[in-house]
């Protein structure tokens, strides 16, 4: 598929899903197979447990993760013992997880494996850097459930987003929910100067004045704001929230007279826990939302089936999503999707 050429220039890639059972593992297996064919040295890990034969929630069959000769993989001690491939251990991390220490190994003869990596994104960042230093061209990190934090540009260079019937059996709702997340991923970035200024500030809510100087508004968390707080604009209308942002803050800003001049800045889209309705009201009133750093969306994949037993028409769903998003959408199980632009 064409998006594989975009992956070639990345050092790290995350594969995340909007919901469980949106086809992350199928997408992962497709990518790993193509990377092996392309001769790109690859390391693979997960932020959760992936590759299990049966879904732990729905008790349905799941595709396993296939690894190829020469690939590195990082998984827990428990799941390393359950591998169905030949490999040699290169490193055992002293830090422990709930499933034991993390084992880094190289595949000698391809086969199936269970992946259960670090639970913290900080450890993942360290592992990605370690693989770079060892000469690995690309580290692929598989996500857990709908944990989008893995797709932060501070963790991985690029992402593949998996959506599908598990998000909604209604095609219109599926398109709407997917479109909103893609819109958040593609939010405009601030200027390079603003990024440099705000990247190093502490926790809480900040404001940029007319000279581009950051000022602490004395609010340790946006969740501590009250409706009576009318002093947010004392330094200007460009506000920066260093942590998570919920509907509460957007509603508060939308209710203020200054909303027409307001730009709210967040670190990246993974910090946003907002609903489409509240975001639409905020922007309709004139408010803007920007990010310090935008995530790079490499591809959008579709799983037309749901573990609940329903499905959407793959070709129709791909077409509707492409029309709404202005980008190709791939059902990686369909042979004819290889012909898509």
Distance (Å) of CA 150 to CA 9, 47, 52, 111: 19, 8, 20, 26
Q: Which residue shows structure tokens 């599908």?
A: 164
Tokens 């709908």: give the residue.
146
Residue 122 has pLDDT above 50, yes or no: yes
Architecture in CATH of 3-186+295-339:
3-Layer(aba) Sandwich (3.40)
What's the average model confidence in pLDDT over 108-117? 92
Neighbours of 15 (CB within 10 A): 27
Task: For residue 17, list its beta bridge partners.
Answer: 162
Where is pLDDT greater, at 118 or 252?
252
pLDDT bucket at 179, cuts 50 / 70 / 90: very high
Residue with tokens 């092996």: 36
Q: What's the whole-model pTM score?
A: 0.88
Q: What is the pLDDT of residue 145?
A: 53
Q: Distances from the Cα of 57 to the Cαs of 60, 145, 149, in angstroms? A: 8, 11, 21
Query: Which pLDDT score, from 0 to 100, does residue 148 have?
Result: 78
Q: Which residue has the higher pLDDT, 312 or 334?
A: 312
Question: Is pLDDT of 246 > 70?
Answer: yes
Among candidates 31, 304, 65, which has minimal Cα distance to 166? 304
At residue 336 the predicted structure's pLDDT band, cuts being 50, 70 and 90, is very low
Residue 207 has pLDDT above 80, yes or no: yes
Q: Are 289 and 282 in contact (CB under 8 A)?
A: yes
C-alpha span between 163 and 175 (Å, rounded): 9
pLDDT one-digit tens code per residue, 42-62: 999 988 665 454 444 444 445
Query: CA-to-CA distance for 25 and 15, rounded, in angstroms?
Result: 9
Going by the DSSP 8-state scheme, the letter that residue 165 receives in this structure is T
Q: What separation in angstroms does the CA of 110 have from each of 36, 51, 106, 137, 173?
A: 11, 15, 10, 19, 40
Residues of the chain with CATH 3.40.50: 3-186+295-339
297 touches 159 (CB < 8 A): yes
Q: Please give the pLDDT value at position 97.
A: 82
Distance (Å, whole) CA 193 – CA 207: 14
- Tally the residues of the chain: 341
Closest CA to 66 of 89, 80, 47, 85: 85
Is the distance from CB of 140 to CB of 128 less than 8 angstroms?
no
pLDDT at 112 exceeding the cut of 70: yes
The per-residue pLDDT for range 277-327, each reduced to its tens digit, is 999 999 999 999 999 999 999 999 999 998 888 889 999 999 999 999 999
Task: Please give the mean pLDDT across all residues of the chain.
Answer: 88
Enter the tokens of residue 311: 């499905």
Residue 83, pLDDT score: 93
Percentage of the residues of the chain whose pLDDT score is greater than 70: 91
Q: 151 in helix, strand or coil? A: helix
């Amino acid at each position: 598929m064409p998006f594989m050429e975009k992956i070639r220039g990345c050092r790290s890639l995350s594969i995340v899903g909007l919901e469980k059972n949106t086809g992350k593992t199928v997408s992962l297996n497709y990518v790993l197979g193509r990377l092996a064919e392309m001769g790109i040295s690859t390391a693979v890990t997960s932020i959760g447990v992936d590759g299990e034969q049966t879904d732990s929630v729905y008790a349905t069959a799941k595709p396993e993760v296939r690894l190829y000769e020469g690939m590195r993989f990082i998984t827990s001690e428990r799941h390393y013992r359950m591998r169905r491939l030949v490999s040699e251990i290169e490193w055992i991390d002293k830090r422990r997880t709930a499933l034991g220490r993390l084992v880094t190994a190289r595949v000698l003869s391809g086969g199936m494996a269970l992946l259960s990596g670090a639970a913290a994104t900080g450890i993942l960042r360290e592992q990605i850097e370690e693989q770079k230093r060892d000469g690995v061209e690309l580290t692929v990190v598989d996500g857990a459930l709908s944990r989008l934090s893995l797709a932060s540009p501070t963790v991985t260079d690029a992402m593949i987003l998996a959506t599908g019937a598990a998000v909604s059996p209604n095609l219109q709702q599926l398109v709407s929910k997917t479109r909103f997340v893609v819109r958040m991923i593609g939010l405009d970035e601030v200027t390079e100067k603003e990024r440099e200024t705000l990247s190093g500030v502490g926790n809480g809510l900040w404001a940029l004045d007319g000279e581009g100087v950051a000022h602490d508004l004395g609010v340790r968390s946006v969740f501590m704001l009250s409706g009576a707080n009318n002093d947010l604009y004392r330094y200007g209308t460009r506000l920066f929230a260093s942590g998570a942002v919920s509907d509460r803050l957007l509603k508060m800003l939308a209710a203020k007279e200054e909303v027409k001049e307001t730009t709210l800045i967040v670190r990246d889209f993974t910090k946003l826990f907002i609903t489409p309705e509240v975001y639409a009201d905020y922007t309709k009133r004139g408010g803007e939302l920007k990010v310090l750093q935008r995530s790079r969306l490499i591809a959008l994949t579709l799983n037309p089936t749901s573990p609940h037993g329903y499905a959407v028409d793959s070709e129709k769903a791909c077409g509707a999503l492409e029309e709404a998003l202005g980008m190709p959408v791939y059902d990686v199980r369909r042979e004819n999707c290889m012909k898509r632009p």
